[in-house]
Chain A
Amino acid sequence: MRKLIIVLILLPFLITPAYAIELKAPEVPESGADWMPESTASFPDALMELLHKALLTLQPDLADAAQISITVTCIIMALSMLQSFSGTLQRIASAAGAAAIASALLNDTNSLIRLGTTTITELSDYGKLLLPVMTAAMASQGGTTASTMLYAGTAAFDIVLSSLISNFLVPAVYCFLAIATANSAFGEDILTRLRDFIKWLITWTLKTLLTVYTTYMGISGVVSGTTDAVALKAAKFTISSVVPVVGGILSDASESVLVSAGLVKNAAGIYGIIAVLAVFLAPFLKIGAHYAVLKLTSALCSLFGTKQLTTLIEDFSTAMGFILAMTGTTCLLVLISTICFLKGVG
């Protein structure tokens, strides 16, 4: 007991002071916690573990999607029998078929759209927590101008993207589905152009936003990187002009602090990237599985179903494609910014 007390008293004196810069990436959100690899020290290993877990959960998603696909195929088969009648019955069958397919797919599509928007919010929120950490880490490595520009640009684009997605693009997807269903039920193809316009608008908005963002990142990286590199060189020159021995000590200290800051930044960045992927992969694969199965269903149904109804299934799969694109764009935004922070100074 006495020895233990002595050890406990002496223990604080054995602790050597550590002067490393302490910055940690925010904890992975709850939705990605189960997917998070045990260690993120090695990026390839963590990525492999993540992909392995992702592939394991793909099977139940495919089974769910297949169940819906079978229901839709059965509806199309039943309707194709009714299509053999001519006149009004054929048209009524076509309209009723569109309503039946829409009601079979709408519930599932709606839950996937909700999953997508929840994931987008989570990714955006995590990005907002990761940004200050990466900015501080990059600034501590001498990249003050670059990190400020990256933060400001990413935050601005994130606000624009998340506002556009929640206020415009998601309602536009619902509108697209409603128009596609109405077009199919109406059976006169008069809403085809309007449906195609909404499709084009959603795709164009996402593409343009991502292109503008990547261009901004490229230009700001070059401009601010050069400014920071010049500032770092000037600082090194100032240090070397001090009294020889002090200059050497300062130079060594500065170098070791920069190396330490770089290591901290890399660790935070890699954890951040893996955390973002952990949040993103499960919903992305779930929506992706439904998307692929619906595409397959549409292709199969085109063998015996009418063009109108097959196109409706195709439109539902396109809507899922939109949600995939929105989730992917938000994820890319966070990943690109983190990679730009990781790229370093100069």
Chain B
Amino acid sequence: MNGLREYAISVIMMAMLCSLVLNLLQSSAAKGIVKMVCGMILTITAVAPLCRMDLSIQENLSSSFLAEAKAAASEGEDLNRDALRAVIKQELETYIQDKAADLNAEITAQVTLNNGDPPLPSWVVIKGDISPYAKQQLQKILQAQLGIAKESLEWTG
């Protein structure tokens, strides 16, 4: 604020001084030259602070905003992947439990997904009492419809 006040006062005072000088030289032949000099002094007084300005935006521009952009986008992709994995896992577990229920077996399934894109079931743990017939049928269903091999199933009583 002080700097601004000093600047404004200096410009205004200089203008008033120039005006006064010009008034004193009302009909002098040197008036033209004095007017030019006054104009130059006024311009320098007014524009000088602009010349001392710091225009170094290059330093800021070289900051790592592109890396930040990639990091933020990568965070979004991770969120998407996590949400997708959670939904797929839940859907598959519900599907297996429903199929078992159709075979009169009450089980709980725990699906492990691989890290592929899209994530696919790689291991399934099935808990509960299930008859040999139902177990065989369920194995066939899981193989045919979900692509889960017999070796990727773990049965726990």
Contacts and interface: CB of A to CB of B under 8 A. Distances in A.
Interface residues of B, number: 62
A91 B23 contact: yes
A185 B88 contact: no
A96 B95 CA distance: 89
Interface string B61-104: 10101101111111111011001101110111001000000000
B144 to A, nearest CB: 8
A142 B117 CA distance: 14
B50 interface: yes
Which one of B39, B45, B76 has the greatest number of beta carbons of chain A within 10 Å? B76
Given A191-B39, A253-B91, A243 B80 contact: no
Given A151-B73, A249-B91, A174 B7 contact: yes
A179 B11 contact: yes
A156 interface: yes
Given A152-B69, A191-B39, A239-B118, A249 B77 contact: no
B90 A19 contact: yes
B63 A148 contact: no
A310 to B, nearest CB: 17
B54 to A, nearest CB: 5
A253 B88 contact: yes
A307 B49 CA distance: 28
A57 interface: no
Contacts of A183: 15
B73 A148 contact: yes
B83 A182 contact: no
Contacts, number: 215
Please classify the interface of chain B as helix (H, G, I), strand (E, B), loop, or mixed, using the class held by over half of its residues: helix
A148 B69 contact: yes
Contacts of B86: 17, 19
Given A95-B16, A163-B60, A21 B80 contact: yes
B38 interface: yes
Contacts of A151: 65, 68-69, 72-73
Interface in A65-113: 88, 91-92, 94-96, 98-99, 102, 106, 110
B76 A136 contact: yes
B145 A159 contact: no
A181 to B, nearest CB: 6
A182 B68 contact: no
B30 to A, nearest CB: 15
A89 B37 CA distance: 23
B46 A179 contact: yes
A135 B69 contact: yes
A257 B83 contact: yes
Nearest to A90: B23
A171 interface: yes
Interface in A169-184: 171-172, 174-175, 177-179, 181-184
B120 A171 contact: no
Contacts of A155: 65, 68-69
Interface in B90-135: 90-92, 95, 117-118, 120-121
Q: Which 8 A-B pairs have the closest CB atoms?
A: A139-B76, A151-B69, A136-B76, A182-B15, A245-B145, A155-B65, A185-B15, A135-B72
Given A152-B65, A155-B69, 18 more contacts: A95-B15, A132-B68, A132-B71, A132-B72, A136-B75, A138-B76, A140-B76, A144-B77, A147-B69, A151-B73, A156-B61, A159-B61, A163-B57, A167-B53, A167-B55, A191-B42, A194-B43, A250-B88
9 contacts: A19-B90, A21-B83, A22-B79, A135-B69, A175-B47, A191-B43, A242-B118, A249-B92, A252-B91
Interface of A: 17, 19-23, 88, 91-92, 94-96, 98-99, 102, 106, 110, 131-132, 135-142, 144, 147-149, 151-152, 155-156, 159-160, 163-164, 167-168, 171-172, 174-175, 177-179, 181-188, 190-191, 194, 235, 238-239, 242-246, 249-250, 252-254, 256-257, 260-261
